[in-house]
Amino acid sequence: MLDAAVAVLVSDGVEGFTTRRIAREAETSLPAVYELFGDKAGLVREVFFGGFRLLDRHLAEAGDTGDARADLEATFLAFRGFVAANPTLAQVMFSRPFADFDPGSSELAAGAATREFVVRRVRRGIDAGLFRGDETDIAHVLLALAQGLAAQESAGWLGTSMASRDRRWALAVRTALDGLAAAPPLSPAGG
């Protein structure tokens, strides 16, 4: 049923994502959808969790070369590839397009594995002397940069050719990582 939900999301978008449509696509009954997920928000919640599981697999496939900077760059590429292959799913994960789905603490924790993956990669860069600063702060900034670039690309605003989009991704990643190498660490202010 989750596969059907994702298929409906991809084919019909947020507007066409109804429990009735998903039941029809999954060749089951509407009561079965409600029995498994409670309501539409419960179904969206499971799609949300499934998206993060898929993203985590994409990031893990980026591999580990032992080169901290190359591995962070590969993380950006893996994130970009995930969003390019799953733009509607990424929208559910990062943009909250459903009015009846308000992520709670367990949903927000779904992104923790992704964040921790990036934190570990940043920590390796700090330990190797490539970056200066707090690994959690840096990971948040890098994830926000990747999400922003991916959203711009998905919306068609990052460029009209693959070459221009690739160039802008490379510029952003290179500039961010170079800046982290040169930036003096900020004093912690909490949060």
Q: What is the pLDDT of residues 46-66, one digit of tens each?
A: 888 889 989 999 999 988 999
Domains 1-38 and 50-182 share a fold: no
Q: Among 139, 159, 163, which Cα is nearest to 149's?
A: 159
3-state secondary structure the chain: CHHHHHHHHHHHCCCCCCHHHHHHHCCCCHHHHHHHHCCHHHHHHHHHHHHHHHHHHHHHCCCCCCCHHHHHHHHHHHHHHHHHHCHHHHHHHHHCCCCCCCCCHHHHHHCHHHHHHHHHHHHHHHHCCCCCCCHHHHHHHHHHHHHHHHHHHHCCCCCCCHHHHHHHHHHHHHHHHHHHHHCCCCCCCCC
Token readout for 121 is: 């990669």
Please give the CATH topology (third level) of the domain spanning 1-38.
Arc Repressor Mutant, subunit A (1.10.10)
Among residues 175, 180, 79, the alpha carbon closest in space to that of 135 is found at 180
**Domain parsing of the chain, residue ranges:** 1-38, 50-182
State mean pLDDT over 165-173: 97
17-47: pLDDT as tens digits: 999 999 999 999 999 999 999 988 889 988 8
Task: Indicate the fold that domain 50-182 takes in CATH.
Answer: Tetracycline Repressor; domain 2 (1.10.357)
- Which range (100-109, 112-121, 163-172) has the least confidence? 100-109
